[in-house]
A and B are shown apart, each in its own frame.
Chain A
Amino acid sequence: MNPVNYLYLSALLFTIGASGVLIRRNAIVLFMCVELMLNASNLALVTFSRMHGNLDGQIIAFFTMVVAAAEVVVGLAIIVSIFRTRHTASVDDSNLMKL
């Protein structure tokens, strides 16, 4: 199968994730969309690795997974603590940082 098709799929997934981040308000959904974008880029990296016939892309994909895992840990903890104090998971309610 033509590897370029994987790139099309990757771009599609990335676009879905990005529009989810921009449109949705629920922090959990937002998070899942971010994961979608990260995995879309992983898919692209692995595909490039395949196309170029070396392992660089796969190694970077592993890095991305580690970073994503760490991000999930920190991010979920923040979301949970915000939910506990403010009883909401909507990102629009957390707007105290503006003047």
Chain B
Amino acid sequence: MNSLIPLLVAVPLAGAALLLLGGRALDRFGHWLGTLAAAGSFGIGLVLFAEMLGRPTDQRPVREFLYSWIPVNGFQADVAFQLDQLSMTFVLLITGVGTLIHVYSTGYMAHDERRRRFFGYLNLFLAAMLLLVLADNYLLLYVGWEGVGLASYLLIGFWQHKPSAATAAKKAFIVNRVGDLGLSIAIMLMFVEFGSFAFGPVFGAADDASEGKLTAIGLMLLLAACGKSAQVPLQSWLGDAMEGPTPVSALIHAATMVTAGVYLITRSSAIFDLAPDAQTAVVAVGTVTLLFGAIVGCAKDDIKKALAGSTMSQIGYMVLAAGLGPIGYVFAIMHLVTHGFFKAGLFLGAGSVMHGMNDEVNMRHYGGLRKYMPVTFATFGLGYLAIIGFPGLSGFFSKDKIIEAAFSKGGTEGWILGLCALVGAAVTAFYMTRVMMMTFFGEKRWQPDPETGEEPHPHESPKVMTLPMVVLAVGSVFAGALFTYGDAFLKWLEPVTGFEEGHPPIPAAAVTVLTTVCMLAGVGLAYTMYGRTRVPVTPPVGSALTRAARRDLLQDDFNHAVLVRPGSALAATLVWFDSRGLDGFVNGLAATIGGVSGRLRRVQTGFVRTYALSMFGGTLVLVATTLLMRSV
């Protein structure tokens, strides 16, 4: 019995409750309270991590039963936590990056009058996300799953006075609902098939289940993952989610929440390993998304939306790796962690740039900022080198392994996946170099504020913001090397996810060289297009593909035409039927009765003698009838 595990969730939850219910009295120091809750959770995580390292490998996973949640005959839902190596990795990532972003937010949100509420939501998110990764059954995981969805909704729409932010929040919530439906159906299928939804019994019984059932469960889990992790076809909400404050984009929509889908697939490895068709679907989704996101990222002028496209693409890599089975799980999680570092760092860098540029997000209005923001430039630069997979930095190790695993899939499929992943690596290098060049290099293209006419005066952000960026940059540089040194990460996660050595059709070294060449090609192309030549302030018309990519490859138009229009038409028809058909019938009936009653009412004159007469009349009729009946 380890009483520290529930505290991991309880501390940020208490922080959220205190901040959201505490009222204005907490306004002055509420942000530090929230940061303290996050740091406390991180501290507990570190203690648990040290304890876990101290135990031999087979005793590392611990399970803690807290209480019976819904104890009905044959339906046992427990509030129980499971802390194994996979959960531990997530706990450290969530609380670690979470704490850094809390610290950053104290600076970024310093002038927002609703700051206390913001930190309350952030703490709520941490609690829900920790519940998600610590749950030992799917139902409790679902609670966390919905909790992060709620926190994401609240934080995307944090600046709710902006209609665009309010709409984006609703969009994210509704699109996620589609995925959540998948998860709830998967849980129901599990309960029908296995009589339980706890990890242990489900994975234990998976061997005996029919492949068809497992495929159905797997596909529903994939739908859930698509919603939460912004994978095709449920990807459309992530770009709009950038309406939220930048620390939110860094924490929720880059480092942690959007990776929940990868966690779900990896956690359910026992199901996916036995359902090859579902795995194929996972791989297909991952591959399509990694190219989709990369293409979108190339065309966006909004720095945050370009990074959002990149997030989508990188999670595509993770989903691809997770779909490859035991040869990929470990690398999916490794890329997830390194991505958590460098992408959070890149977003914080973007936030720092916006902070110095009057909240300008258009990269065409940046340029030459490296002299004005040296720390931001250095940390963003290191994150940039990490994400494109520059040899020696963390992205290099994790992405290279995924591409290798993709080739190892074998056969034509392996070649297709591997080549797609290679192309993705080249495109990643292209769009990230583009972001880098347009923001920090070239000539100044600064524009005055359209409302106040104020010229921007770019300046370095305060220490409280740059410090987390520096820490994340250090992580981006060294995490990969640390994880692969002596296969440390592999040995750490293998007991949970299993591992199979992949055998790529070409030597591993050749894959590494190819990846590096692709990366350099992407960098070179972007340098000639955006570094050597002037970047126009007004975007050129561009090719058909560019125009489509600017509109997120027409995903919204597609959704609008295929889902929204028929949906609205159906609703309009139903409304017409309801108001004309049903209401007409009911109203007509009521009107008829009302009219008849109005006539009948006249009979009631209020004169006693009239009533007496009617009584006499009635009596006469009765007597006459009786006599008549008798005589007959």
Contacts and interface: CB of A to CB of B under 8 A. Distances in A.
Interface of A: 18, 21-23, 25, 30, 91-92, 94-99
A91 B605 CA distance: 13
Contact of B601 (A23, A30, A96, A99): A99
24 contacts: A18-B616, A21-B609, A21-B612, A22-B609, A22-B612, A22-B616, A23-B609, A25-B609, A30-B608, A91-B607, A91-B608, A91-B609, A92-B607, A92-B608, A94-B608, A95-B605, A95-B606, A95-B607, A97-B604, A97-B606, A98-B604, A98-B606, A99-B601, A99-B604
Contacts of A25: 609
A98 B605 contact: yes
Interface of B: 601, 604-609, 612-613, 616
A99 B603 CA distance: 10
A71 to B, nearest CB: 15
Nearest to B601: A99
A25 B612 CA distance: 12
A48 B609 CA distance: 31
A94 B608 CA distance: 8
A99 B604 CA distance: 8
A30 B612 CA distance: 11
A25 B605 CA distance: 15
Nearest to A94: B608
Contacts of A94: 608
Given A98-B605, A99-B601, 9 more contacts: A22-B612, A30-B608, A91-B607, A91-B609, A92-B607, A92-B609, A94-B608, A95-B605, A96-B606
Nearest to B609: A22
Contacts, number: 28
Contacts of A21: 609, 612
A55 B613 CA distance: 33
A96 B607 CA distance: 9
A96 B612 CA distance: 17
A95 B601 CA distance: 14
B96 to A, nearest CB: 77
Tell me which of B601, B604, B608 has the highest count of chain A C-beta atoms within 10 A of its own C-beta: B608
B278 to A, nearest CB: 72
Nearest to A96: B606
> 3 nearest interchain CB pairs?
A98-B606, A95-B606, A91-B608
Contacts of A95: 605-607
B487 to A, nearest CB: 92
Contacts of A22: 609, 612-613, 616
Nearest to A21: B612
Contacts of A99: 601, 604
B81 to A, nearest CB: 70
A53 to B, nearest CB: 24
Contacts of B609: 21-23, 25, 91-92
Nearest to A90: B608
A2 to B, nearest CB: 23
A25 B604 CA distance: 18
A31 to B, nearest CB: 12
Contacts of A97: 604, 606
A25 B613 CA distance: 13
A18 B608 CA distance: 14
B614 to A, nearest CB: 11
Contacts of B616: 18, 22
B371 to A, nearest CB: 89
Contacts of B608: 30, 91-92, 94
A87 B371 CA distance: 103
Contacts of A18: 616
A93 to B, nearest CB: 10
Contacts of B613: 22
Nearest to A34: B612
B596 to A, nearest CB: 15
Nearest to B616: A18
B426 to A, nearest CB: 86
A91 B608 CA distance: 6
Contacts of A92: 607-609
A92 B605 CA distance: 10
A17 to B, nearest CB: 11
A83 to B, nearest CB: 15
A26 to B, nearest CB: 12
A42 B479 CA distance: 115
B627 to A, nearest CB: 15
Tell me which of A25, A94, A98 has the highest count of chain B C-beta atoms within 10 A of its own C-beta: A98
Contacts of A96: 606
Contacts of A91: 607-609
A27 to B, nearest CB: 9
A3 B156 CA distance: 103
Nearest to A95: B606
A91 B607 CA distance: 7
A25 B382 CA distance: 108
Contacts of B604: 97-99
